[in-house]
Amino acid sequence: MTRRTDVVVIGGGQSGLAAGYHLRRLGIEFVILDAQEAPGGAWQHTWDSLRLFSPAAYSSLPGRLMPPQPGEVYPDAQHVVSYLADYEKRYELPVERGVSVGAVQCDGSFLQVETDCGAWQARAVISATGTWTRPFLPAVPGRREFQGRQLHTVQYRNPEELAGQRVVVVGGGNSGAQIAADLAGNVDLTWVTQRPPRYLADDIDGRALFDAATARRRALDAGRTDNGGVASLGDIVAVPPVREARDVGLLTARPMFDRLTEDGVAWPDGTSAPADTIIWCTGFRPALAHFAGLRLRGTRGHIATIGTRSIDEPRLHLLGYGDWTGPASATLIGVGRPAREAAREIAGLIRS
Ligand code: FAD
């Protein structure tokens, strides 16, 4: 059976919910399809000690401030999951869970959304599938020869699982630094980064990142020089656990190795480090496989957009994947504005 609605939102994490909030305000009929059985998107799956890099009030979706977490300035992931579950309920967002979208096809004046629970026809689609389901691992020689365990950020949980092991953490971004800090003192740690770690000033948190991303977008839109945005400030937010580990000298990084061996990693200068486990904190790619059939243009796994709208398929909007779909749109505070713009454009399209 094929069901019909005005808008199908694919993904029920924070981005899908922000889209739902604005669609509802504009009186547009929609459904949100989410592959997971429970609310919270990627926040359900992070490591145990993860803390937001902004206080609660600066980590809020449109319409409703995130309440503070008692006793914590920077809330944990479980607090975000509870907030998102409450948000969804409060605004009565129509989320269908346990529904995985396999493909989106063009069907005359509709887009046909194929799922493992039947099909939908929609006049527009918002894709908000995030990146968590597409971990990226770089091609490094010897990855198959290494006999130990290899994890990605998405599989790491806590230091207890790796107690007493020799662990190599790869990556100089926030995930790499936070996981290295989590492990420091609990395992025999080697932290490896492509360039020396670049910490943001200790007093800078997610608020400043949001401001920097917004200023950069405005400058680019006005044809001014690219000031580098967030990247110009540094790579690592010095959240308290990272700051503490760094300040007592537990976070010293080595440069990137050039290959894996059977029992560890090796550098070009002939030095090596044995390892039981390597944790690749090497980022993500957007989860966009469901659009393969539409053959949309794009580079680096992206789809070409103006704002959130696909250039080649104007009935399709992309939300929350990164700065390419709106300044700081992959953050709680940043996704509200592009979600509003996407909903407004869609309202214009379906009411024209
Ligand atoms: P997700 O949360 O990944 O939700 C996407 C949903 O879509 C999921 O439920 C998924 O199952 C579903 N889905 C995927 N494919 C399909 C499909 N084909 N069919 C149906 N459903 C599908 N942001 C902040 O604001 N503050 C922070 O402190 C912060 N810290 C972060 C720390 C880490 C380690 C990471 C990785 C990110 C952090 N972020 C932070 C960034 C950001 O908030 C998250 O990445 C956020 O989860 C993105 O939300 P989303 O809704 O776009 O994607």
Give the residue from 257, 254, 276 showing the smallest Cα distance to 142: 257
Q: How far apart are CA 93 and CA 285, in angstroms?
A: 27
pLDDT band at 98 (very low <50, low <70, confident <90, very high): very high
Q: How far apart are CA 15 and CA 22, in angstroms?
A: 11
Residues 128-141: pLDDT tens digits? 999 999 999 999 99
Q: Give the residue whose CA is nearest to atom 47 of ligand 1.
A: 42
Separation of 41 CA from ligand 1 center, angstroms? 6
Separation of 14 CA from ligand 1 center, angstroms? 7
Is 187:159 a contact under the CB 8 Å cutoff?
yes
Which pTM was predicted?
A: 0.93
The residue that leads in pLDDT, 233 or 111, is 111
pLDDT of residue 76: 95
3-state secondary structure of 160: helix
Q: Give the residue whose CA is nearest to atom 15 of ligand 1.
A: 129
Separation of 13 CA from ligand 1 center, angstroms? 6
Q: Which residues line ligand 1 (CB under 6 A)?
A: 10-16, 33-36, 41-43, 46, 52-54, 59, 100-101, 128-130, 132-133, 175, 206, 287, 290, 320, 330-333
pLDDT of residue 169: 98
Separation of 97 CA from ligand 1 center, angstroms? 16
pLDDT of residue 13: 98
Residues 37-50: pLDDT tens digits? 999 999 999 999 99
Mean pLDDT of 145-174: 97
Separation of 42 CA from ligand 1 center, angstroms? 4
Separation of 51 CA from ligand 1 center, angstroms? 15
Separation of 267 CA from ligand 1 center, angstroms? 34
Q: Give the residue whose CA is nearest to atom 9 of ligand 1.
A: 41
β pairing state of 166-170 and 188-193: parallel
- Tell me the percentage of the chain whose pLDDT exceeds 90: 81
Give the residue from 271, 263, 296, 1 showing the smallest Cα distance to 125: 296
pLDDT of residue 44: 97
- Mean model confidence pLDDT for the chain: 93
For residue 237, pLDDT beyond 80: yes
Ligand 1: nearest atom to the Cα of 115: 19
For residue 228, pLDDT beyond 70: no
pLDDT band at 209 (very low <50, low <70, confident <90, very high): low
For residue 207, pLDDT beyond 80: no
Mean pLDDT of 181-193: 96
pLDDT band at 73 (very low <50, low <70, confident <90, very high): confident
> Domains plus CATH for the chain?
2-133+284-351 (3.50.50.60), 149-199+235-280 (3.50.50.60)
Integer CA distances (angstroms), 280 to 81, 221, 228, 303, in order: 25, 35, 26, 26
Q: Give the residue whose CA is nearest to atom 31 of ligand 1.
A: 52
